[in-house]
Amino acid sequence: MYIKLIAFIFIVISPSLYCGWDGLDRGGKSEEAMKLVPNIENGKNIYETCALCHTEQGWGMTPGIGRYYVPGAYPQLAGQHQSVLIKQLYDIRDLNRDNPVMYPFTLDKYIGGVQDVADVTGYIATLPVNQQNHHGKGDNLKNGKKLYEKNCSRCHGDNGEGDKDNFYPKLSNQHYQYMLRQFLWIKEGKRRNANIKMIKQIQNFKYKDIVDVIDYASRL
């Protein structure tokens, strides 16, 4: 019993000690899901549960979109790289990323097995992106662009296109408030599945610089 308790604490509290940044259980379900051909129709049916928060179109919630409640609560998923969606879904399911609201809906009860994960993420990746996403105030986009090109474009792309092979998400057309919240969580160590390189990269960012670079990124 004592050994099992220690093992549980080790896995839940310190997932970074047993899992690489990419979040994949090598040879396991997440990697398997990425190799499967998605059944888009089945994925659409599964997504009905996800739509309660992420909206039917996959546009997330922000002023003017969905049943808006809290700024930055739900990201736009539409058009995101399937590899990124699979990674984040399994990170939440495996408790490598804290999201108590979404966690129950990542389990087999709602999504199903590996093929179902491939299906629903494959479907989301086909959804058209809403280009009327939420932006910041636009006070200093010049500084934001400078910071983005120096610190972010190498991984997330000049136009925020991301990198599916390295699990770097698309930032283009993502909601400002959502990205701002995630940036702060990564900087503070609250988002535990963050890329170690990014954590180091942004440690010296002042809050004003964070606002500027995220505002610029939301307009890509």
Hey, is 191 helix, strand or coil? coil
Residues 106 and 61 in one domain: yes
Is there a domain that residue 10 lies in? no
Q: Which two tokens stand for residue 148?
A: 């983005």
Q: Which of 72, 70, 39, 66 is nearest to 52 (CA)?
A: 66
Residues 122 and 148 in one domain: no
pLDDT tens for each residue of 109-130: 999 999 999 999 999 999 999 9
How far apart CA 45 and CA 112 sit, in angstroms, is 12
Q: Which two tokens stand for residue 27?
A: 């040879």
Q: Which domain holds residue 97?
A: 20-126
Residue 135 and residue 177 in contact, taking contact as beta carbons nearer than 8 Å: no
* End-of-domain residue from the set 74, 94, 126: 126
User: Which CATH number does the domain housing residue 115 bear?
Assistant: 1.10.760.10
Question: Which stretches in the chain have pLDDT values below 70?
Answer: 1-27
pLDDT for res 24: 57
pLDDT for res 133: 94
Residues 115 and 157 in one domain: no
How far apart CA 149 and CA 159 sit, in angstroms, is 10
Q: Which two tokens stand for residue 115?
A: 């093929």
Residues 115 and 44 in one domain: yes
Residues 79 and 159 in one domain: no
How far apart CA 30 and CA 53 sit, in angstroms, is 23
pLDDT for res 2: 43
User: What is the maximum alpha-carbon separation in the chain?
Assistant: 58
- Global pTM reads 0.87
pLDDT for res 22: 56
**β-sheet bridge partners, residue 74:** 61
pLDDT tens for each residue of 75-94: 999 999 999 999 999 999 99
* End-of-domain residue from the set 91, 126, 161: 126
Is there a domain that residue 35 lies in? yes
What type of residue is 116? D
* End-of-domain residue from the set 99, 126, 153: 126
Q: How many CA atoms lie within 13 A of 80 on its CB side?
A: 26
> Total domain count for the chain?
2
Residues 155 and 102 in one domain: no
Residues 102 and 45 in one domain: yes
